[in-house]
Amino acid sequence: MRLSATFRSAKIPRALPPKSAAGGGSSSSTACRPEAAKGKATSVWCVYLIASSRIPRTYVGVTTDFPRRLSQHNGELKGGAKASSAGRPWNLACLVEGFVNRSEACEFESKWKNISQKMARKRSEPGMTSLLQHRDVALNKVKTYLACSHLKIKWHSS
């Protein structure tokens, strides 16, 4: 522990997560869920795109447990994002897995949201199809900015 020169408060150094030798992926049944490795729980981060089944709206987020997070968005569990309450019920549209850590997942999520927001969208074609196409184009642009070859991107139709 060391003291901050400015505030003279105790600063506790954060422990870095252990580096794994293999960047192994997760099986589809445990997609984006904590997994046990050598007795310790490790987090498997994923970025998801959900689509409202009621209105033409999508939401991009990051989590370690997608089924739990979807239940939160749909109001079945406490803790859903306020921004997603208007579009209930939500369905999975795209799941991106294979992130090394939370930081990488959050950077990807932020880039995807930012590019989607800044890109011009054809407003003449209302509906979910054009909105999902817009998110797909933005996702392809994200791939040009970030190293994504190790990621597993799976689109879901519903």
Please state, in angstroms and as integers, the Cα–Cα distance from residue 137 to each residue in 68, 83, 95, 118, 134, following that order: 28, 23, 15, 12, 5
What pLDDT shows up at residue 31?
Answer: 65
20 within a domain of the structure (yes/no): no
Averaged over 85-100, what is the pLDDT? Answer: 95
Model confidence, pTM: 0.75
What pLDDT shows up at residue 120?
Answer: 86
| Amino acid identity at 82 | K
Contact status, residue 64 vs residue 127, Cβ threshold 8 Å: no
Q: Is the pLDDT of residue 76 over 50?
A: yes
72 within a domain of the structure (yes/no): yes
Over the stretch 15-40, which tens digit does the pLDDT of each residue have? 544 444 444 433 334 467 655 444 44
114 within a domain of the structure (yes/no): yes
16 within a domain of the structure (yes/no): no
The residue range of the domain holding 151 is: 31-155
CA pair distance 116, 137, nearest whole angstrom: 8
2 within a domain of the structure (yes/no): no
% of the chain with per-residue pLDDT over 70: 72
CA pair distance 93, 155, nearest whole angstrom: 6
Q: Is the pLDDT of residue 90 over 80?
A: yes
What pLDDT shows up at residue 27?
Answer: 38
Mean pLDDT of the chain: 81
β-sheet with 46-52: strand ranges across: 58-63, 46-52, 90-97, 152-155
Averaged over 94-111, what is the pLDDT? Answer: 97
25 within a domain of the structure (yes/no): no
Domain count, the chain: 1
Averaged over 105-117, what is the pLDDT? Answer: 97
